[in-house]
């Protein structure tokens, strides 16, 4: 028998495998192909398979394609760099692809626009059977993706900017920001900022779609509450006011927090500051938090801060971040389902070429930013909200038997207790407490200690 030793970097072929085993190449090919109709003895098949494993045989991918076979591969082109939501999109899409028996050919195109041309050429050369484009935020990529389409390779887009000729699957960002804005307005906020990149459509690398959707949702919620967008806040507004503070895309791809830093600095320079700031994503919110901490601005005492995308880091902030979760797994699976239909030559009806997935607001406790809004909270349930740690009289709205009297401590430092909402209180009481921005420990009767500071408890919206 010929030697099984191979030189470093060499690759064993079916011919060599057949020669070493003393069988024909067609027998080897049949044994290694589960779909082959050639009948073989089971002992022969097992002997060939074991030898192939021992010699580290790998099928020639390109030879199989040249013989008219399928590549068995689907490409994933994803954008977003260090953003966790981008990694989640790619992860769930890749898992869905593998579950369908396909191999994944993936490339992250966040770092250089020159990478896009090379990645598209590689996918065409590899004869991938379809491509998922996830989170595209570089308009210049459209021309390169046209080449993929012209090569006869089906394409779908997952979040990010859509392509006019490809099915598109994304979270309903407009509704997500609308609901988050509505939530803050319901808590009593009347002057809100949206901190986001809003593209003119001409600058490369722009979040063209995402920024516009956020702005439209923000504006719609304000108008439904009788408010409007303004260039500058006014004192004691009769109706809600919203202001857009534009951010630039981060110049450093390794620092997605920079837009939040520069944006919050601009906000804090305003003569009248907002009571709530809605950030375009969690990373922007983390940058904004850094500036507030440096400037001594209390979160949530002076400014409420929200993010978007529900990244894991938000749970570990000093004040857990209110944010919005996108159904990334469901979106990835739906995108692949449509792509497989296109691969099979099926048509996607017009009504199914754009699917919006509902997003879920995760509203943290406490609601934040209301301790500085005493005047606006007057009349909301009769509450009189004093400074943190003081007694709050809610006799008018609290039924008998729910709370016990507790006098404030005097002298020395007082440790803030771990305060949580009462599960025994009626729904009207719990709702009022949340509106005012307080968390209470049940006592009895008329007075209780109220602390609008953090509790460490994460309360998610139902």
Q: What is the mean pLDDT of each run of 10 residues along the chain (462 residues)?
A: 48 85 88 80 89 81 59 91 91 95 90 84 92 88 92 95 93 95 94 86 55 94 97 94 90 88 96 96 96 94 94 88 95 97 94 93 59 37 29 34 34 37 38 38 32 34 34
Closest by alpha carbon to 160, among 132, 180, 179? 132
Residue 37 CB neighbours (<10 A) = 6
Residue 393, H or E segment: strand 391-393
Cite the DSSP H helix spans in 151-301.
173-186, 208-224, 258-268, 282-295
CB 96 within 8 Å of CB 239 = no
Q: Name 146's Cβ contacts closer than 8 Å, sequence gap at least 6.
A: none
Q: Cα(349)–Cα(352) distance, rounded to whole angstroms? A: 5
**3-class state of residue 325 by DSSP:** strand
Q: Name 198's Cβ contacts closer than 8 Å, sequence gap at least 6.
A: 211, 212, 214, 215, 244, 246
CB 447 within 8 Å of CB 393 = yes
Q: Which residue matches tokens 């770092």? A: 111
List, in sequence order, every residue forming a beta bridge with 356; answer none if it has no partner. 170
Residue 154 Cα to chain centre, angstroms: 25
| pTM more than 0.95 | no
Cα-Cα end-to-end distance for the chain: 70
List b or e across 307-321, with b for residues whose CB sees 16 or more CB atoms inside 10 angstroms.
Answer: bbbbbeebeebebbb
Q: Which residue matches tokens 């994304």? A: 170
Q: Cα(291)–Cα(258) distance, rounded to whole angstroms? A: 10
Q: Tell me the Cα Rg of the chain.
A: 29
Q: Which residue matches tokens 């109706």? A: 239
Q: Name 8's Cβ contacts closer than 8 Å, sequence gap at least 6.
A: none
Which structural domains are found in the chain, ordered by start? 14-59 (1.10.260), 73-171+328-357 (3.40.50.2300), 173-326 (3.40.50.2300), 378-462 (no CATH)
Residue 238 Cα to chain centre, angstroms: 35
Residue 67, H or E segment: none
Q: Cα(424)–Cα(35) distance, rounded to whole angstroms? A: 64
Peptide bond preceding 199 in cis form (omega within 30 of 0): no
**3-class state of residue 132 by DSSP:** strand
Q: Which residue matches tokens 């626009």? A: 113
Cite the DSSP H helix spans in 105-207.
114-125, 141-150, 173-186
pLDDT score, position 28: 86
pLDDT score, position 63: 57
Residue 290 CB neighbours (<10 A) = 14
Residue 26, H or E segment: helix 25-32
**Cα distances (angstroms) measured from residue 65 to each of 69, 101, 129:** 5, 17, 11
In angstroms, how far apart are the furthest CA atoms of the chain?
A: 97
């Amino acid at each position: 028998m010929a030697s099984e030793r191979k030189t470093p970097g060499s690759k064993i072929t079916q011919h060599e495998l057949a020669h070493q085993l003393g069988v024909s190449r067609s027998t080897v090919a049949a044994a290694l192909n589960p779909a082959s109709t050639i009948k073989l003895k089971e002992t022969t098949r097992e002997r060939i398979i074991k030898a192939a494993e021992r010699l580290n045989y790998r099928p020639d991918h390109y030879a199989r394609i040249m013989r008219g076979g399928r590549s068995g591969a689907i490409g994933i082109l994803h954008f977003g760099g260090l953003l966790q939501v981008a990694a989640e999109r790619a992860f769930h899409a890749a898992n869905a692809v593998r579950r369908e028996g396909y191999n994944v050919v993936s490339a992250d195109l966040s770092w250089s626009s020159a990478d896009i041309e090379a990645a598209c050429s590689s996918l065409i050369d590899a004869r991938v059977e379809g491509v998922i484009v996830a989170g595209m935020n570089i308009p210049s990529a459209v021309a390169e993706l046209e080449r993929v389409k012209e090569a006869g390779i089906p394409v779908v887009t997952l979040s990010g900017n859509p392509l006019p000729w490809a099915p598109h699957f994304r979270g309903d960002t407009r509704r997500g920001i609308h609901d988050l804005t509505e939530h803050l307005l319901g808590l009593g906020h009347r002057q809100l900022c949206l901190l986001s990149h809003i593209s003119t459509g001409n600058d490369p690398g722009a979040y063209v779609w995402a920024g516009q959707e956020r702005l439209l949702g923000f504006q719609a919620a304000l108008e439904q509450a009788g408010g409007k967008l303004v260039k500058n806040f006014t004192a004691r507004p009769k109706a809600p006011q919203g202001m857009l503070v534009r951010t630039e895309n981060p110049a450093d791809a390794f620092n997605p927090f920079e837009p939040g830093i520069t944006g919050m600095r601009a906000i804090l320079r305003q003569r009248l500051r907002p009571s709530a700031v809605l950030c375009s994503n969690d990373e922007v919110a983390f940058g904004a938090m850094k500036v507030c901490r440096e400037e001594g601005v209390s979160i949530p005492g002076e400014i409420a801060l929200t993010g978007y995308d529900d990244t894991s880091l938000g749970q570990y902030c000093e004040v857990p971040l209110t944010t919005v979760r996108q159904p990334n797994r469901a979106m990835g699976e739906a995108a692949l389902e449509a792509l497989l239909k296109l691969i099979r030559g099926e048509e996607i009806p017009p009504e199914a070429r754009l699917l919006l997935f509902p997003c879920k607001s995760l509203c943290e406790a406490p609601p934040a930013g209301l301790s500085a809004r005493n005047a606006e909270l007057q009349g909301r349930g009769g509450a009189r909200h004093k400074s943190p740690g003081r007694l709050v009289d809610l006799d008018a709205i609290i039924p008998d038997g729910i709370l016990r009297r507790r006098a404030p401590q005097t002298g020395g430092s007082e440790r803030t207790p771990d305060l949580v909402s009462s599960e025994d209180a009626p729904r009207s009481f719990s709702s009022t407490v949340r509106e005012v921005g307080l968390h209470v420990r049940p006592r009895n009767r008329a007075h209780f200690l109220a602390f609008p500071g953090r509790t460490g408890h994460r309360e998610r919206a139902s």
